[in-house]
Structure formats: structure tokens, C-alpha cells
Amino acid sequence: MIRNRALSWLVLGFFLSGCATPEPEVYRAYEGPQRNRSEIAVIVLEAGPGALEIDGVQPREPIYKIELPPGSHTIKIMPEGWKFDFMAEGGKSYEFETYFSIRRGVSTGTMWIQELATGRKVSQVVKISETPWR
């Protein structure tokens, strides 16, 4: 009887933990309470890119969403050190975009930050790879 009761509590615990799906890990790059959506910019990370440095701070991993106050920001992808400077606007969402091309036997990869709704580039384009292609 005690064994069945313990098993029942264990099953109930697993069930309840599965029902309470947490929001993907959010890093808030500001102090104080959560702000209204119109007062922040959001960077959506579809796949956790690994370690990030946001305005000189390395938050815990994994991060799938970054909330920033409007203004100038710098994001580095570590350990490669790829650095992206951009101006965030309140109420807007952004994403990292990657493009690969092959020209004259060389594969080149580039990355930038763009506005999610329009696709407008908001950071400089950074070369992330250059590999001979055979």
C-alpha cells in the first residue's frame, strides 16, 4: 500500500511537471520588473547559438529570447567572437540571419541581425566562415 502511494505521488509529480511547460529561457538585459512589450526590443534565437555576450555580460545558457531596452547594443557570439552592433527599437523583434554562398570554389558564410517583420538589416554583416569548396 505504501509502495503504491509513493508510486502514485511520483507519477503525479511527473504529470504535473509536464503540464507546466516553462517559457523558453528569456534573458532580460535591464533591471527591475518586466516591461511592457512596446518598451523593449526582442531578439528571437531559433536555436541556442551557444554562449553569448550581451553588452559585456555573459548570461546563463540556454537563451532563446533576449529582451533589451531601446538603444545601442553589442552582441557577441562566443567563443568565435563574432560581434554585432545595432540600434534596438522598442516594440520590434529581431533575429540572426545567416547566408552561405559559393563563389570561385570558396564557400563564404555571413551573418547579421535583421528586423523580424521586414527583414531589414540592422547590424553590420559579419563573415563567419570561408572554406575552399571541392
pLDDT at 94 over 80: yes
**What pLDDT score was predicted for residue 21?**
42
- 102 pLDDT band, cuts 50/70/90, is confident
pLDDT at 9 over 70: no
In 39-117 the beta strands, taken as DSSP E runs, fall at 41-44, 52-54, 65-68, 71-77, 82-88, 93-103, 106-115
Look up residue 65 and give its amino acid. K
User: Mean of the pLDDT values across residues 37-63?
Assistant: 85
**What pLDDT score was predicted for residue 64?**
87
pLDDT at 119 over 80: yes
**What pLDDT score was predicted for residue 7?**
35
Q: Residue 65 burial (CB < 10 Å; 0-12/13-18/19+)? A: middle
Residue with cell 528571437: 44
